[in-house]
Structure formats: structure tokens, C-alpha cells
Amino acid sequence: MTPQTTLPPLTIRPATDADFPVLARLMSEANPRHPLTAQGWAHEIGEVRGHPLGLHAAQWLAEEDGEARGTALTLHLPGMHHPDRYWAEVLIPPQHGRRGVGTRLAEMLEAHLRERGAREVLSGGYEDEPWALDFLTRRGFAETLRYFDNVLELADFDASAWAEASGLPSGLRAVSLAGLAAEIGMDAAITAFHAAFAEVREDVPRAAPPTPLLLEGFRSRLLNDPHFFPEGILLAVTSSGEVVALSELHPNDSDPARLDTGLTGTRRAWRRRGLALALKVRALRLAQDRGVREVWTGNATTNRPMLALNERLGFRPRPAYTEMRWGGV
């Protein structure tokens, strides 16, 4: 007979700031598509904790004999805030899966959310990890939106073929946020950037209406972000100084040869003039000049215009992420 192995007991405790390195490692192993560093995760949690709306954030660590096995977290969503709406996630690295760790963490998380009176919970999983989606379905979650990670290998991008598309209509010029700040000062440049960003983000597909984006919070978040890369924020600006289109690039936490796309879009009155395409081409040329290997972007499957633009440029979709919802507010 094969002797049975007795696993050490599983303990679950609240995570502390001292746990950020192990939390970032667990979350990166569970979702290597979007790796995190301790500094990056500390910043994200700090943004929630310090939000003027008084948002909630909590995270737990599951351990066996002192060894980390998984984590669960829940938080209010700053971009889609409602006091009874939460994001919740259970993250188990593959080597620790199928041992009941996720079930224990989920039960603890569900009890916490019941205690807080949650009426809506959002979560999700990738289509190539069907067990994660089944796990949520069994708990009463249903699909709301699907998102593609779209990836462009820059070795396959011929910038010269897009030279004409990178031009802007008469009366507009392209400048980075860093360049605009050198001309008018960083505060004034961020104010102009904010006006465009706040309008463009309102039309991005999401599961609930966006929280209004106030200037002071936007400025603070931008300047305190460890990934702040003003040279990678490209803007289309009128002769009067109005920002009418934008495309953002951010350094990736764990891979210096990768850049991640933030928001790309055009203000409503200036759409259908090729501005987003022009800025995106310039951003990709900038990435090539910096020796970057690949650029990642994420798009809802309902955002057909942006998906079509990215497909034209050579971005290719990875397995879709399915966002799921329990309840509703």
C-alpha cells in the first residue's frame, strides 16, 4: 500500500503591508499574464485606502505550515464606485491548486462580504481556465463582459508602412505629456490631459457607470504612480491648447521589454478623423525606439472600433477574460 501523505493544516489570516512581496508573488504566479511587484501592488492598495470616498479593501493569506498557498481579496472599485458593489478574487498558483485552498478562501470571502452587506460582487476568470469560471458559476455569478488581452510583437510592426497614418489633421499637433509639461508646466499639462481623459473614459465599455474623475484625484494618482511615464502619454493638441485625443503607454512591473497600453481614445467632437490611430502609431514607434519587445492592450469584446484598430496594427488576441457578476445594485 502507498502511504498517505498528511498535509499540514491550512490557516487563513489577514494580510499586512509586510506581506506585499509574497502577495505580489502569489498573484503573479496565479495570473502570469499580468505580473505584479510588491511596489506596484502596494501602490494600488494605497490608492484604494486613500480614496476620498472612503473605499474598503481587505486581503487574506492562506498558509500551510507557514508557507503561502493563496490569497483572497475584496475591494471597492474606484472607477465604478457604489458602496454595495465590490470586486472579489481568489488567486491560487497552479502548483497549489486542487487542494481545497480556493474553497476555504472563497467561503471566508463570502462571509466577509455578507457581513458588509454586499449587494453586487464582480469577479472573473480566463476562458482557458474553465475551472475558474465553473467555480464562480456554482456560486451564482453570471457573465457581464468579456475582454481580450491583445498583444503586438514589435518585431512584426513596420513603422514605415504607417508613416502616413501617423499624421494629424491641420490645426493639431502631437506632443507627449512630458513635452507639454516642458512648455506650460506639469500642473497645466495634467489639467489639459484630464479634461480629455475624463470624457474619453466615460465611453469605455464597463459593467457599471463610471465614477466621476475629479481633477485633484487624477493629478495625485498620476504623479504618485510608480509607473508614471509622461514620455509615453501621447496627446493630440489644438492651437488653443485643448487636448482632443490621447494614447497611453505604461512600463510593465516585471518585464522591461514590455509596455502596457492605458487609455486610447478621442473626444466625441473630434472622432472619425484618425486621431486615435495616429497617436497609437506614434506610441508604437516610440516603443520600438526604446527597444521594447511587445506591447499589450486590453479591450472589451464589445468595443469593436478599438478592436478593429488594434487588429489593423497587428495586435493579436490572447484568451479572453470573462468578467462575472453576482447580484446587482
Percent of the chain whose pLDDT exceeds 70: 98
What nine digits make up the cell of 7? 498535509
Q: Which three cell numbers stand for residue 64?
A: 500551510
| pLDDT over threshold 50, residue 89 | yes
Q: Cβ neighbours of residue 209 under 8 Å, at least 6 residues apart?
A: 80
* pLDDT of amino acid 99: 83
Cell matching residue 314: 497587428
Q: What pLDDT is recorded for position 1? A: 42
CA gap 144, 85 in Å, rounded: 14
Helix ranges (H only) for 5-122 are 20-30, 38-49, 101-115
Contact 285, 253 (CB under 8 A): no
What is the CATH code of the structural domain delimited by 10-118?
3.40.630.30
pLDDT band at 85 (very low <50, low <70, confident <90, very high): very high
**Confidence grade of residue 4 (pLDDT, cut at 50, 70, 90):** very low
Binning pLDDT at 50, 70 and 90, where does residue 134 land?
very high
Q: Which CATH class is domain 150-322?
A: alpha beta
245 pLDDT higher than 90: yes
pLDDT at 285 over 50: yes
> What local confidence, expressed as pLDDT, does residue 35 receive?
93
* Enclosing H/E stretch for 182: helix 177-184
Q: Is the pLDDT of residue 2 over 90?
A: no
What is the distance between the alpha carbons of residues 106 and 289, in angstroms, rounded to a whole number?
45
The rounded radius of gyration (Å) of the Cα atoms in the chain is 21
Asked, colleague to colleague, whether 10-118 and 150-322 share their fold, the answer is yes
Strand boundaries in 33-158, DSSP class E: 57-64, 67-75, 85-91, 120-126, 142-153
Rounded Cα–Cα distance for residues 114 and 97 (Å) = 25
Residue 3 has pLDDT above 50, yes or no: no
* pLDDT surpasses 70 at 6: no
Q: What is the mean pLDDT of the chain?
A: 94
Q: Where are the domains of the chain?
A: 10-118, 150-322
- The CA-atom distances, in angstroms, between 269 and each of 177, 203, 244, 266 are 21, 13, 8, 8
Distances (CA, A) of 94 to 15, 38, 61, 129: 21, 20, 16, 11
> Which pTM value belongs to this model?
0.91
For the segment 52-65, what is each residue's pLDDT rounded down to a tens digit? Answer: 999 999 999 999 98
Q: How far apart are the first and last CA of the chain?
A: 55
Beta-carbon contacts of 263 under 8 Å, excluding residues fewer than 6 positions away, are: 197, 200, 201, 204, 246, 247, 248
Region 180-189: mean pLDDT is: 98
Burial class of residue 9, CB neighbours in 10 A (0-12, 13-18, 19+): exposed
Q: Tell whether the model's pLDDT for residue 227 goes beyond 90.
A: no
The pLDDT of residue 303 is above 70: yes
Per-residue pLDDT averaged across 310-316, rounded?
A: 94
- Give the pLDDT confidence score for residue 226 in this predicted structure: 86
pLDDT at 235: 98
| Residue 78 pLDDT > 90 | yes
H helix or E strand, kind and range, residue 118: none
Indicate the pLDDT class of residue 8, thresholds 50, 70 and 90.
low
pLDDT of residue 12 exceeding 70: yes
**Mean pLDDT to the nearest integer, 246-264:** 94
Please count the other Cβ atoms lying within 10 Å of the Cβ belonging to residue 248: 22
Reported residue count of the chain is: 329
- Tell me: the pLDDT tens digits for 111-133? 999 999 999 999 999 999 999 99
